[in-house]
Homo-oligomer: A and B are copies of this chain.
Amino acid sequence: MTDSTTCFSASDIEAMSKGFRTNFINSLSGFKAAALLGTTDGTTNNLAIMSSIVHVGANPPLLGMIMRPHTVQRDSLGNIKRQGVYTLNHVHTSWVDKAHQTSARYESNESEFDKVNLTPWYSNTFSAPYVAESAIKLGLKVAQHFTLCNKTEMVIGEVQQVFINEKYVDAEGYANIEHAGTACISGLDSYHSTSQIAQFSYAKPDQPLNKR
């Protein structure tokens, strides 16, 4: 450790201004997926940028997300509770501005699709709207929904449909989301492209890693 490293204690963090602390803590969890949450109340389509998505399991295929019920996410969460289905659509590096603009506080009867100029698209067999411009689109139904210790809500969804060009999926099942143009997020408002450093083989004790 060099002298230039600072220790922020729990009381230092508590003493930060609300805005400073929000930016600081949101940065520290590392890079985050950038996806748009698509929902509908049957009349108005809702679109919301999400950065708190987490892989829960592959069999069954489950993704979790943390939602804040008293924020701009209120309408999306209400739609999920009523409809039981939603979509997650990867944000492309070429339109991160449109994705971020969905975080503005629009009226409940206004569709963020219209406001940010993204296109709703429907599959024949799923009632929540997808984002046509997304190279990777997931349709999910709610598998579990509960409240966490800080009154945020965790929604776990089971993947029902995946739309992706097979050219991005290799022989082992890995989907090359970098080639598909997927962006990532840090903090509340910073968007990033990526460059692959390495992809490794399954690690075994006392054997050198191979790249694959």
A51 CA to B164 CA in the complex, in Å?
23
Report whether B25 and A182 are in contact in the complex, using a CB–CB cutoff of 8 Å: no
**Residues 181-206 of chain A: 1 if any B CB is under 8 Å from the residue's CB, otherwise 0?**
01110111111111111111111111
Report whether B25 and A58 are in contact in the complex, using a CB–CB cutoff of 8 Å: yes
Report whether B54 and A66 are in contact in the complex, using a CB–CB cutoff of 8 Å: yes
Interface size on A, residues (CB 8 A): 117
Q: With an 8 A cutoff between CB atoms, is A82 at the interface?
A: no
Report whether B200 and A183 are in contact in the complex, using a CB–CB cutoff of 8 Å: no
Q: With an 8 A cutoff between CB atoms, is A128 at the interface?
A: no
A12-31 residues at the B interface, CB under 8 angstroms: 13-14, 16-31
Q: How far is the CB of A178 from chain B (nearest CB, A)?
A: 7
Report whether B58 and A203 are in contact in the complex, using a CB–CB cutoff of 8 Å: no
A37 CA to B159 CA in the complex, in Å?
28
Copies of this polypeptide in the complex? 2
Task: Find chain B residues with CB under 8 A from A161 CB.
Answer: 7-10
A31-45 residues at the B interface, CB under 8 angstroms: 31-35
A189 CA to B200 CA in the complex, in Å?
5
A162 CA to B190 CA in the complex, in Å?
21
Our pick among B29, B33, B209 for the contact of A29 (Cβ within 8 Å) is: B33
Our pick among B35, B159, B167 for the contact of A30 (Cβ within 8 Å) is: B35
Given known A-B contacts A24-B175, A197-B93, A205-B105, A53 and B33 have beta carbons under 8 A apart: no
Q: How far is the CB of A139 from chain B (nearest CB, A)?
A: 9
Report whether B189 and A56 are in contact in the complex, using a CB–CB cutoff of 8 Å: no
Task: Find chain B residues with CB under 8 A from A199 CB.
Answer: 187, 189-191
List 4 other contacts, CB 8 Å, given A6-B163, A54-B66.
A22-B59, A62-B148, A105-B204, A148-B156
